[in-house]
Structure 1
Amino acid sequence: MNTDSNSRIYTVSHLNAEVRRVLENEMGIVWLVGEISNLTVPTSGHWYFTLKDSQAQVKCAMFRGNNRRVTFKPANGNQVLVRARLSLYEPRGDYQLIIESMQPEGEGLLKQMFEKLKMQLSAEGLFASSQKRTLPEQPKRVGIITSKTGAALHDILNVLKRRDPSLPVVIYPTLVQGDGAAIEIAQAIGRANSRDECDVLIVGRGGGSMEDLWCFNEEIVARTIAASQIPIVSAVGHEVDVTIADFVADVRAPTPSAAAELVSRDTSLRQQQIQQRIASLGNQIERFLDGQARSLTRLFHVLALQDPKKQIERQQQQIDALSLRMNIAMQSKVQRVSQTLDNLQQQLQRHSPIHGIQRQQRELIFFQQRLKDAMEKNLTAHRHAIQLKMETLDAVSPLATLTRGFSVTQSENSKVIRSVSEVSEGQTVVSVLPDGKFKSKVL
């Protein structure tokens, strides 16, 4: 066989290992949307499935340590958003994805957009405490930016009337959901600033799904809140709902009613100050925790690239594949034997005398023993065949040849020397042995 002296000869396993390393190290983490199909869940608890779209598909594996964090039960036909790293299953040469997280497609995309804008605005300093304006201790007029027909407006007005009936209120009605809502909210904030008739603004709405609250996650709303000269209290949804507007606003209130509590005068000025300080401290804690979470995520990414668990995961995948093949073979064998037993039982029913029944029972025990012996013999034969193949591979291995006292002689540029005519006196040659190399000079 003639080969270029500069070319490198690979074994199949070496090539697959190199390709796997390139995929894992060069591509890094990817986000992918697709439809689940061929979902398999073996006894190990790992998930194996195919992710596809209308034109292509890719095999995926999600190991037990990661799939325990999935908050829904996936099924064939589900559209999902996954976070994954590229890899290669070396025994079959199959390109695959190792899934690290999975979410339903719609919700997942919104969360991804949320996190992206959140990180961008945080990096620009829009969440910094130094940018926050202090709420007036005794506002002269409160502006409310929300839907004129929503429950949030009703709740805010009720609280303001109960706590300080004399406090004037200006309502800036706007959409708070759907197309065009973000633009209307931004325009209402701008209108309130241009009129300069309020000391503080409440911007918000009642609770809802992430899609319902999405206009408060729009960049135009965030930047308009940050640019406002009037202090703004964000009052979007319930206490568990968090939006970009909450991070940019000067104060975040857990509910619209709580926002009314924050901006209104009460019999105890000290209580109002305490509430404001608690809200400010909560914002600071949220921003601190958010920064710590981002740092932890970056460290996790670095650790994931060097994680020895990857090798264990690949070995676990091999074990699962072999276990699945063995189970299928065993089930097929059991089905054939079960069919034989069914036929014998039918014959036994057609010949019902006692002695016939006893004879059939003895035959049944005999066949069961034969089945057990055959299965053990079959397994022994398979093990023996595998052992023979391993010995055959060892026998033809180039390393095995070297261990018997042979060596490969090469020139310094790694070209194999096959004849004494290819060397000259004084030339340096390299001898390759099983455990290393050494150089020699031709005398």
Structure 2
Amino acid sequence: MPNPVDTIYTVSRLNRQARMVLESEIGQVWVRAEISNFVAASSGHWYFSLKDDRAQVRTAMFRNANRNVSLRPKEGDRVLVRATLSLYEPRGDYQLIAEHMEPEGEGLLKQQFEQLKQRLAAEGLFAQQHKQPLPHPILKVGIITSATGAALHDILTVLKRRNPAIDVIIYPSQVQGESAALQLIQALHVANQRNEVDVLIVGRGGGSLEDLWCFNDERLARAIFASGIPIISAVGHEVDISIADFVADLRAPTPSAAAEMVSEDRLELQKRLLNTQRRLHRAMASQLQQLQGRQQLAVEQLQRTHPKARLAQQSQYLDRLYSDLHHLMSGQFNRSLQQINHLQARLQQHSPQHKLQQMRQQLAYQSQGLHRQMHKLLQDKQQGLANSSHLLNTVSPLATLSRGYSISLKQGEVVKRAADLQSGDKLTTRFVDGEINSKVE
């Protein structure tokens, strides 16, 4: 049997052993809670309570740890805290020693992001050998984004400026909210089934981590990986990183940058065409010079031999070569001119005038519909008023009087029973066309 003296603790020994048990058995934990009783000491340390609707725990966050917190917490803030379970020995208070703190929602999302990123990377979805190269030339571009977002406007503006000859097909989808991921996946499936574009741009403008969260959806990541069409991810601004960026074939820092990646600058195209034309002219001039040299050589040979018939044949052959050369030069020049005219016509087709006219017609149609709806609503309200008036008239006391009935009043109150009357009571009897006063005998 143990000696009772060996089991007797001093308070300090008991608290010290309790602290050691808490730190060794439980150790580091993540706690999601609300800030309460926050105090920033002059030493730079923070002292506060973490609470939920049922309990609270004292917490300390020392200066070397809280200097890494981006936002100073305040009363009522919801936070995610990484801390070590401990005990403050002098008072015997159970407490947490906080090492890291971040806003609750953002912290959970970052954890989920990192976990999914590591898992997909381990499966090889980010591996470079699975990336598809962009085709060349790119003649048709598909865009998966919000039909009313700024990202679509930026992409179309860049494409129109750099190369208006590129065809654009828009696959509209929500890019924020609970249903956004499923809509993005559906748009990817539609684009792959139609197989009508050379490359797809998937993205949206900038926003918070919560705003961009649909691009961190695992189902969307697998749909991007399975796409047979090369995909450029253009999500947010340059500092925004999503799972879609890692799994896509190419990442663009912004939607505008994605548009520049898939479009060849019109000015560069024209410059290349002019260079080709110059090379063609030089080649033709060189060939013409060679032919002229051959002609001169033939003339000299003929002059030495005087074969008039052969000279005539050579002259005819030279004329034919010159005609073919002239035809070739004219054809090449006309084709180049036609291509330039075609590009100019395509540029005219993208003028906003036609779209503006359509929007004006749509506005006029909607205005007419609104007038019709307002007129119908007014008629319905008038009919309802008439029905209510009729119903009110049927229960009106005046209608009852008009059918031959009368109402007797005693001191302004309606007499309902004869037992309510006594001899000498004065009555007022009301008819449809007037009233009379009487006295009970």
Q: Report the TM-score, using the length of structure 1 for normalisation.
A: 0.56
The whole-number CA distance in structure 1 between the counterparts of 2:110 and 2:12 is 40
Spell out the pairing of 1:42-441 with structure 2 (5 A cutoff): 42-266=41-265
Q: 1:148 to 1:62 in 2, by over 3 A?
A: same
Superposed CA deviations along residues 134-158 of structure 1, whole A, max 9, x for unmatched, are 2223223211101111111111111
Partner of 2:23: 24
Q: 1:243 to 1:46 in 2, by over 3 A?
A: same
Partner of 1:363: none
Q: Secondary structure of the residue that 1:77 maps to in structure 2?
A: coil
The whole-number CA distance in structure 2 between the counterparts of 1:134 and 1:20 is 59
| Deviating 4+ runs (over 4 angstroms) | 7-12, 267-270
Partner of 2:2: 3
Query: How far apart are residue 127 of structure 1 and its match?
Result: 2.0
Structure number with larger C-alpha Rg: 2
Partner of 2:32: 33
Q: 1:126 to 1:27 in 2, by over 3 A?
A: farther
The whole-number CA distance in structure 1 between the counterparts of 2:81 and 2:143 is 40
The whole-number CA distance in structure 1 between the counterparts of 2:89 and 2:189 is 60
Q: Which moved more, 1:82-91 or 1:51-60?
A: 82-91
Amino acid in the other structure paired with 1:253? A
Query: How far apart are residue 94 of structure 1 and its match?
Result: 2.1
Q: Which moved more, 1:81-90 or 1:107-116?
A: 107-116
Query: How far apart are residue 269 of structure 1 and its match?
Result: 8.8
The whole-number CA distance in structure 1 between the counterparts of 2:241 and 2:104 is 20
The whole-number CA distance in structure 2 between the counterparts of 1:94 and 1:233 is 56
Superposed CA deviations along residues 326-365 of structure 1, whole A, max 9, x for unmatched, are xxxxxxxxxxxxxxxxxxxxxxxxxxxxxxxxxxxxxxxx
Q: Secondary structure of the residue that 2:31 maps to in structure 1?
A: strand
Query: How far apart are residue 186 of structure 1 and its match?
Result: 0.8
Amino acid in the other structure paired with 1:34? A
Query: How far apart are residue 105 of structure 1 and its match?
Result: 2.1
The whole-number CA distance in structure 1 between the counterparts of 2:259 and 2:17 is 63
The whole-number CA distance in structure 2 between the counterparts of 1:22 and 1:138 is 68
**Contact 2:47 2:60 survives alignment (8 Å):** yes
Q: Report the TM-score, using the length of structure 2 for normalisation.
A: 0.57
Point out where structure 2 has 5 or more consecutive residues left out of the alignment: 270-441
Amino acid in the other structure paired with 1:154? H
Query: How far apart are residue 115 of structure 1 and its match?
Result: 2.3
**Contact 2:163 2:266 survives alignment (8 Å):** no
Amino acid in the other structure paired with 2:108? L
Amino acid in the other structure paired with 1:173? P
Amino acid in the other structure paired with 2:110? K
May I ask how many residue pairs the two structures share in their alignment?
269
Superposed CA deviations along residues 285-336 of structure 1, whole A, max 9, x for unmatched, are xxxxxxxxxxxxxxxxxxxxxxxxxxxxxxxxxxxxxxxxxxxxxxxxxxxx
